[in-house]
Amino acid sequence: MKQNEILEDGHGRRFYYLRLSVTDVCNFRCDYCLPDGYQAAPNASKTPDLSVAEATTVMGAFARLGTRKVRLSGGEPSLRKDLPALIQAAKTTPGIQRVAVTSNGYKLPSVIDSWHHNGLDQLNISIDSLDNAEFARITGHDCLPRIRTGIDRALELGIQTKVNAVLLGDGAQSRLSQFLNWLKTTPVTLRFIELMQTGDNRDYFASNHLRGSDIEQQLIESGWQLLPRAIDAGPAREYVHPDYAGRIGLITPYSKDFCNSCNRLRVSAQGKLHLCLFSDAGLDLRETIRAGDANALAEKVRALIGNKEVSHYLQKGNTGGTQNLSIIGG
C-alpha cells in the first residue's frame, strides 16, 4: 500500500473510524459488562493509560491512513480529568472531521460545556432504561435524572446526541414504550444494541439476549422508515418517523453480513490495536506510540491490517479474548 492511500483490508473494507479507549476503568457496574465493578488485576503493575501526547500520535497516524472520525471511549472516559484535552487533541488533528465521546454520563451536566468548548461534535450516552429504579438496578448508580439534565444541556449546545440502549429480554416492551414516548419530543437518536456475548457474561447472555430484528419489525409495522447509511457512520440501521423528533437505530451484531460494513479499528488505553472487538488479543503498538513518530506508527498499522478476519464469528459463540467491553470501549 502507498502512503496516504486509505487503509483497506484484504476483504475490501475501508477504515474511516477509530475508537480510541482512554481508560479501561469504570465506576458503573452494568449487569452485562462489569456486574462486580471494575477489578484491577491483582499484583500487577498496570501499564499507564495513553497520555494526551501518545493519544495525539495515535490519532495522527490514523488520520494519515484516512481516518475521519475518532470516538473516545472506555471504560468510562470521563473518569480521566484530561478528557477535555484529549477531545481537543482529536479535534485539532489534521484530517479528523468528527470527534465523538461515548460515556455513561454520570457527571454530564458539569462537564458537557467544557467538552463542547474543546470541540466535541457528537455525544453517545448509555441509558438502558428510562425508569429511574430500573436504571439504578442495571448500572448500580441511581443517577438517571442527572444524566438526562446533561443530555438536555448537550442538545441546547447543538451537540449531535445519541443514546445507546442495550436490548435486554425481560421487560423489553415496557422499556420500548417509554423510549418511544420520549422520542416524540426529544431530538436524539436512540440506538438499540443487541446484547453481545463476552467471556464474562455467558450466563447473563443466555437468559437476556433479545434479537434486534423483532423490535425492528415492530417499528417498520408502525411506520418507521429506514435511512441510507453514510460511509463514516456506525453499524446502526437508522429509522425515522414523521411523528417523532428523535430517530431509532438498530445495531444487530448477530445478523448475517453485519461485518461486511465494518469501517472501524480500535486502540486500547494500553496502546494495543484491536482489529475486531472480538479478536483474540490486541497487537501491541506502545513502543512505536511512545516514540512519537506518527508516520512510523501508520506504516505499522498498514502492515497489520492484513490480519483482520472477515467476521467476528460471534454466531459460533466466539468471544475471542474479550472478557467484557469495558476493556476496549465497545
Question: Mask 85-124, x = binds ligand SAM (CB under 6 A)?
Answer: -----------------xxx--------------------
Q: Does 273 bind ligand SAM (CB under 6 A)?
A: no
β 98-103/69-73 pair status:
parallel
Give the C-alpha distances (Å, rounded to integers) separating 288 from 48, 86, 212, 219, 285: 15, 19, 40, 47, 6
Q: Does 56 bind ligand SAM (CB under 6 A)?
A: no
| Residue of 15, 17, 32, 244 interacting with ligand SAM (CB under 6 A) | 32
Show the cell assigned to 259: 461485518
Contacts of 149 (CB under 8 A, 6+ apart): 108, 109
Contacts of 225 (CB under 8 A, 6+ apart): 239, 240, 241
Instruction: Tell me which residues in 128-167 interact with ligand SAM (CB under 6 A).
Output: 164, 166
Query: Pick from ligand SAM, ligand SF4, none: which does 34 bind, CB < 5 to 8 A by kind?
Result: ligand SF4
Q: Does 104 bind ligand SF4 (CB under 6 A)?
A: yes
DSSP assigned state of 193: E
Query: Pick from ligand SF4, ligand SAM, none: which does 267 bind, CB < 5 to 8 A by kind?
Result: none
Q: Does 249 bind ligand SAM (CB under 6 A)?
A: no
Closest C-alpha among 233, 270, 123, 138 to residue 195: 138
Measure the CA–CA gap between 177 and 287, rounded to whole angstroms: 50
Minimum Å distance from CB 152 to ligand SF4? 20
What residues make contact with ligand SAM under the rule CB under 6 A?
Answer: 26, 32-33, 73-74, 76, 102-104, 126, 164, 166, 193, 195-196, 198, 201, 325-326, 329-330
What residues make contact with ligand SF4 under the rule CB under 6 A?
Answer: 26, 28, 30, 33-34, 74-76, 104, 126, 326
